[in-house]
A and B are shown apart, each in its own frame.
Chain A
Amino acid sequence: MKIDYEGFDFSTSLADASFPSPIFTASGCASSGKELAQFFDLSEIGAVVTKSVMNKPRHGRPTPRMAETPSGMLNSIGLQGPGIDYFLANDVPWLLNKGSRVIVSIAGETIDEYSVLARKIRAVQGISAIEVNISCPNVENRGMVFACQTDTAARAIDGVRKIIGGEIPIIAKLTPDVTDITSIASSVVDAGADALALINTVLGMVINLDTMRPHLGGKTGGLSGPAIRPVAVRAIYQVHSAMPQVPILGMGGVASGRDALELILAGASGISVGTASFGDPSAIPRIQRELHSLLLARGFKSLREAVGYAHRSIEEGS
């Protein structure tokens, strides 16, 4: 770490994994790191969370894959990627060689695929944590998204825990598109998740007025960007309130240090920055600097003091 935090303890942890800074990339918004390395030193941020990888190579969805919306965007990529074998042989060693901390995000279409992915990751040294993206359609259950039901969410996490539990932290990434996110959170924690990633994109659609059909090739897409930030703050606040002992990697529309601080006050121990990097390739180091200044200005001595600070009672003072 080359950054001088002026005596301020900027470090954070997600279960047993420690990071010198709480600002991470968001899965699916940094590819596997090489593209952003031209703009900043990947070792100077908390960690690179890589794009959710599946067992086999995958083309993803047809174009158009993107639509800008007010203060946000829809994406419909469909988990395009090289597959886990290529990824672990090429992308992870490159990142580790750059001095980056690596959180590998995985996605599966079956419970078994999550286990297979965990087994392959277990064989590789140096990975800080595994993010389990369970916002994927379950091909064995009519395409129902794993993260939308407590039982399937828990089974996907359980499949990973049996392989890798206790070795590196398991972070379950949840969708906000559910009636009660705390019940899903509770079920994945019971199944062995060590931390939670909140929130994935919010399902949306744009209709093209020229064609008068859904604009995206995949029809629906995930909404991200500042438009969804209040949804993220709400979800993090609710889950932290229900389970204050479970660390949260917060994300959803963070574009500035002030946005990051908002999610931290709601209960996030780390922040993933996603869509902001599309508009500003140096957003992540900028947000890191801004957050550091804002925490100092509010008299915090460490990042940890600020986590969940919005939950304090009236008696605990201003």
Chain B
Amino acid sequence: MSTINKSATQISSTILSNKRIGAYHQILLSIGDLASLCRPGNFVAIAVGDESSKMILRRAFAISRITHGSASGGAMELIVAPHGSGSRWICAQPEGSDIDIVAPLGKAFGIPTSPVNALLVGGGYGSAPLFGLAEVLKARGCRVDMLLGASTGSKIYAPLEGKRSASTLKIYTEDGSMGERGRVTAPISALIQRGTIDVIYSCGPMSMLRAISDLTEGTDVVHQCAVEESMACGIGICMTCVLPVKGEDGTISMLRSCIDGPVMDSSTVAWDLVGKTPPAVTL
């Protein structure tokens, strides 16, 4: 088998539940044996609309959590913001309906082999995959602290059961409607200087990922971020979701965030070239 998309499978999946939580929908999908292949940071690509739909492209969502067991096998949880025509369609699907999914896709978060101090930073619904990650890290003996931010309280996703896997959880909103007023990146600099963080895991808007990257640059803190670029296919054939990434020899390559990401080492991303054309390739 090919090494690209090596765990990816296309299946028809039944929606087990679809609940509104604040500004988001929590959707639970029955995925059977695929559950054992999914890792925190992986994503799923979902076909939207029916046969007569004018929407021809799949929608990509970070896998929020995986649950194993029960009679029906494994399940996948997604946190979906109904902000576009495709995500609104998914959020409108009733329990019991079947949808076409391809999963698991993409590179997962790297999990340290020995216990470390991990800081998990989530922006908006970007917090969703961090709770599954926190469980895995905690099981490895890591200390897990979590910072969540959003523009307003209804856009903070922080489920009760998820909070248990973090030692501390602080919430920031720009309008001050929940937690502290301000940006989620505000306390990071002080935390790094205190020397109590080994790894930062982040998921959220690109501006947030870049801001964290600026803070970790030149420090010993490793920063793994799950990037967000619009993609047409999710499986590496459309070449639309590329990001400029620095290789070991310093050359820039336009890497697909679906296959070489979404999780990337932020120190390798050429953030100042995102959305620009890198210098011409030299042979």
User: Which A residues fall within an 8 A CB radius of B?
Assistant: 28-31, 34-39, 51, 56-66, 68, 70-73, 75, 77, 80, 83, 217, 225-226, 255, 275-282
Contact = CB atoms under 8 A, between A and B. Distances in A.
B5 interface: yes
B239 A73 contact: no
A51 B275 CA distance: 22
10 contacts: A34-B4, A39-B8, A59-B281, A63-B229, A63-B230, A63-B241, A65-B242, A75-B239, A83-B283, A278-B57
A61 B280 CA distance: 11
Interface in B88-147: 100, 102
Nearest to B236: A35
B242 A35 contact: no
A57 B283 contact: yes
B84 to A, nearest CB: 9
Contacts of A275: 56, 232
A290 B128 CA distance: 40
B58 interface: yes
A35 B56 contact: no
Contact of A36 (B235, B252, B276): B235
A297 B108 CA distance: 47
A278 B233 contact: yes
Contact of B55 (A59, A62, A68): A68
Given A37-B1, A66-B231, A278-B56, A61 B277 contact: yes
Contacts of A51: 239
A-B CB proximity, top 7 nearest = A66-B240, A278-B233, A35-B236, A37-B2, A65-B240, A57-B281, A38-B5
B56 A77 contact: no
Given A34-B2, A38-B6, A279-B57, A75 B238 contact: yes
Nearest to B279: A59
Interface of B: 1-6, 8, 10, 47, 54-58, 100, 102, 229-233, 235-244, 252-254, 259, 274-278, 280-281, 283
Contacts of B231: 66
A51 B1 CA distance: 21
Contact of B239 (A31, A57, A225): A31
A227 to B, nearest CB: 9
A80 B237 contact: no
A60 B276 CA distance: 10
A277 B1 contact: no
B183 to A, nearest CB: 21
Contacts of A68: 55-57, 232
Contact of B252 (A30, A31, A59): A59
B233 A277 contact: yes
A80 B233 contact: no
Contacts of B238: 29, 66, 75, 77, 278
A279 B237 contact: no
B239 A65 contact: yes
Contact of A80 (B47, B58, B235, B239): B239
A72 B6 CA distance: 28
B56 A226 contact: yes
A31 to B, nearest CB: 5
Contacts of B8: 38-39, 281
Contacts of A75: 232, 238-240
A58 to B, nearest CB: 6
B237 A255 contact: no
A63 B275 contact: yes
B239 A77 contact: yes
Contact of A72 (B10, B56, B241, B278): B56
B38 to A, nearest CB: 16
A156 B194 CA distance: 64
Contacts of A64: 230, 240, 275
A209 to B, nearest CB: 13
Contacts of B259: 35
Given A34-B4, A57-B283, A280 B47 contact: yes
A177 to B, nearest CB: 21
A281 B10 contact: yes
Nearest to A276: B56
Contacts of A66: 230-232, 238, 240-241
A141 to B, nearest CB: 21
Contact of A31 (B3, B236, B254, B276): B236
Contacts of B276: 62
Nearest to A253: B56
B49 to A, nearest CB: 10
Contacts of B241: 63, 65-66
B232 A59 contact: no
A279 B58 contact: yes
Contacts of A65: 239-242
A281 B4 CA distance: 13
Contacts of A83: 281, 283
Contacts of A77: 238-240
B58 to A, nearest CB: 6
Nearest to B251: A57
Given A38-B1, A62-B276, A225-B56, A29 B230 contact: no
